[in-house]
Amino acid sequence: MTDTSAARTPREPAPEHPAETTAQRARLSWSRVVLALGSNLGNRLETLQGAIDEIADTPGVTLQRVSPVYETDPVGGPEQGTYFNAVVEVRTLLTPDLILERANSIEEAFQRVRVERWGPRTLDVDVIWFEHVTRDDPRLTLPHPRAHERSFVLAPWYDIDPEAELPGHGPIADLLARVGPAGVHRRDDLELTADR
Ligand SMILES: Nc1ncnc2c1ncn2[C@@H]1O[C@H](COP(=O)(O)OP(=O)(O)OP(=O)(O)O)[C@@H](O)[C@H]1O
Ligand SMILES: Nc1nc2c(c(=O)[nH]1)N=C(CO)CN2
């Protein structure tokens, strides 16, 4: 197929920046994205709320939905304390790479230190699903390569979007039924808020 993105017809508006192509401008549309948050060190609830506030403060990102909090048994890694997990849905103008960059910088703001794989952490922010995007890149795999088998992701996600589907794996309702409810407990006595 011929790439006609650089060819402009006389009726097409001039780019705002001389180097900006039609294709680049077309990318400025809102995408839905699901992010998963986890914490098992320090004040877990305060950390999750702080991360949500940072996400909401990100230019080009609007927070749509925040899940209930789940207390969950650690999966993998060394012996460690239980996690608080939650999921948020946002809409964004940012690219997947920029969303990952932002997720990593929010982790760093909460003194996340990478010591060992699946080890305890103050904050983990994973990109679970990015509308219309699948990719195999190890720096950013979409959807998240382990989301389909993680009840600590599926249970809170199901609460805010029971119809959601994971590309390549099917409806999250089916995935959640498959992994079962063991090790995840909804903490209805705790709340995260979208509007602070
Ligand atoms: N969808 C994704 N979301 C977040 N990080 C990803 C994703 N796909 C690939 N990565 C890469 O995975 C690397 C390790 O991420 P991280 O340290 O958060 O792993 P983890 O939380 O310990 O384990 P897991 O990847 O199983 O959730 C990151 O440097 C990141 O570049
Ligand atoms: N319960 C629970 N277990 C985990 C979690 C997590 O967020 N919750 N995150 C991990 C790496 O992303 C590994 N194991």
pLDDT tens digits, 109-119 = 987 666 667 77
- Cα-Cα-Cα-Cα dihedral of 94, 98, 102, 103, to 10°? 100
Q: In which band, very low, low, confident or very high, does the pLDDT at 135 lie, cut at 50, 70 and 90?
A: very high
Q: How far apart are CA 186 and CA 21, in angstroms?
A: 48
Among positive and negative, which fits the CA dihedral 135, 138, 144, 148? positive
Q: Report the range of poorest mean pLDDT among 110-119, 149-158, 170-179.
A: 110-119
The complex's ipTM works out to: 0.97
* DSSP 8-class letter at 11: T
Run of H or E including 173: helix 172-179
Residue 27, pLDDT > 70, answer no
**What is the pLDDT confidence band of residue 195, given thresholds at 50, 70 and 90?**
confident
Name the DSSP class of 142: B
- Alpha-carbon distance of 112 to 88, in angstroms, equals 19
Q: Is 120 in the pocket of ligand 2 (CB under 6 A)?
A: no
State yes or no: is 161 an active-site residue: no
Is the whole-model pTM more than 0.90? no
Domains and CATH numbers, the chain: 29-186 (3.30.70.560)
| CA 60 to centroid of chain Cα atoms | 15
- Nearest CA-CA partner of 83 in 58, 120, 31: 120
Q: Which of 41, 104, 125, 139 to mutate to test the pocket of ligand 1 (most atoms within 8 A of CB)?
A: 139
Give the confidence band of 23 by pLDDT, cuts at 50, 70, 90: very low
